[in-house]
Structure 1
Amino acid sequence: MQPGRLRLMAGVLSLAAMAVPVHAATITIVMENLVISPAEATAKVGDTIEWVNKDVVAHTATAKNGDFDVMMPPTKTVTYVVKKAGSVDYYCRFHPNMKAMLKIEREPSP
């Protein structure tokens, strides 16, 4: 192998080793005592929302704009991967007084 090519490959490998991969985050939202907490959360496209239902009754996370409708059995945890940006108001279909907002930001370009 030519010395110049070897140096180029070594440089590319060292740059690749320094690159930090973008990782999706997990945002935990708890439903307990008929309250959603936090009532306002921020996520990025590709993040996972983890809804934890600590109540002994079922809940939903139903987006008013139709983006998602997640069913949560009693005392269970359910996950959902965020697919598009925007502010989404959501509520529980069984307990309409349970309301929250999810602010979803676009994932920055590399």
Structure 2
Amino acid sequence: MNFVAPIVMLGLSNVFMTFAWYGHLKFKAVPLYLVVLISWGIAFFEYWLAVPANRIGHQVYSAAQLKTIQEVITLVVFAGFSAFWLKEQLSLNTLIGFGFIAVGAAFVFRG
């Protein structure tokens, strides 16, 4: 359970953070100060998932592995968010770049 729970929690926290950082791009007419306040409110919930995920996860993963898991999740969540929320296509170069990052992540877990 301790192996899976941090990954699930980091995945959910990443959804919140992605919306906090990029969700407002669909609403460019909303004043910036309001966007910042709303984003801060969304990020509050992200912290309630990310901090416990790292605390629980550090029992079974190293800090470097937790950070790597979080970064890979970030790329997956962002790719989906970009395509479905922002309606932006992912280019072949972007996918190749994400692939290189995934290869780097694999090295972290090789020990």
Query: Structure 2 length normalisation: TM-score?
Result: 0.23
Query: Structure 1 length normalisation: TM-score?
Result: 0.24
Where relative contact order (Cα < 8 A, 6+ residues apart) is larger, the structure is: 2
Q: Please say which structure displays the higher CA radius of gyration.
A: 1
Choose between structure 1 and 2: higher strand proportion. 1
Choose between structure 1 and 2: higher helix proportion. 2
